[in-house]
């Protein structure tokens, strides 16, 4: 990857709906070499997809909760089983394997506290292999980025 590839990525992160000709102009290339570079970035897995950014609040999901999970066992089988069990839970927006005293960190969205309580009681607590959980409610987002830093 060179500087032009990084510029392509930067521009596309800000506006993924940009036409190829506008992108080429923004990065100082003609359309054909720009298209080749975008195709290569996609086939190399650097560009993983395109999508619409949505406001969770406007969709009735204003509550964000971070759930720290400690598993009963930390082996690869236990971690894979947990991952398989939570993957279908659509309230889970992100899931990270962590270092330290908690094994897993989930970012969960909910309509309200009752909805989170129902999710916790009927869905997350049903997942086998959890030793302990702690929930922290986000009061507000102070920094939220969709664009990765320049390298």
Pairwise CA distance, residues 93 & 106, whole Å: 7
Element (H, E) at 132: strand 130-137
Q: CA torsion sign, 82 to 87 to 16 to 56?
A: negative
CB atoms within 10 A of CB 24: 21
**Residue 65 in contact with residue 138, Cβ under 8 Å?**
yes
- DSSP code at position 60: T
The domain segmentation of the chain, as residue ranges, is 3-43, 57-137
Strand order in the sheet with 104-110: 92-97, 104-110, 63-71, 130-137
pLDDT of amino acid 151: 61
What does each of the 151 residues of the chain score in pLDDT, given as a tens digit? Answer: 999 999 999 999 999 999 999 999 999 999 999 999 999 999 999 999 998 889 999 999 999 999 999 999 999 999 999 999 999 999 999 999 999 889 999 999 999 999 999 999 999 999 999 999 999 999 999 999 888 887 6
Is 115 in a helix, a strand, or coil? helix
* CATH code, residues 57-137: 3.30.70.920
Distance of alpha carbon 122 from alpha carbon 134, whole angstroms:
16
pTM of the predicted model as reported, rounded to 2 decimal places: 0.86
Chosen CATH of 3-43 out of 3.90.1150.10, 3.40.50.2300, 1.10.10.10, 3.40.50.920: 1.10.10.10
What are residue 106's DSSP bridge partners?
Answer: 67, 95
pLDDT at position 150, please?
Answer: 77
**For 18-129, where are the E strands, in sequence order?**
63-71, 92-97, 104-110
């Amino acid at each position: 990857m060179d500087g032009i590839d990084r510029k392509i990525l930067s521009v596309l992160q800000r506006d993924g709906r940009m036409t190829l000709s506008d992108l080429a102009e923004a990065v100082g290339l003609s359309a054909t070499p720009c298209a080749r570079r975008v195709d290569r970035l996609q086939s190399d897995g650097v560009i993983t997809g395109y999508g619409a950014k949505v406001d969770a609040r406007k969709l009735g999901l204003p509550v964000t909760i971070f759930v720290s999970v400690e598993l009963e066992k930390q082996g690869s089988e236990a971690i894979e089983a947990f991952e398989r069990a939570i993957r279908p839970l659509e309230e889970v927006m992100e899931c990270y394997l962590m270092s330290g005293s908690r094994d897993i960190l989930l970012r969960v969205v909910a309509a309200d506290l009752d909805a989170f309580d129902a999710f916790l009681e009927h869905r997350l607590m049903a997942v086998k292999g959890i030793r302990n959980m702690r929930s922290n409610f986000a009061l507000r987002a102070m920094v939220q980025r969709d664009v990765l830093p320049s390298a």
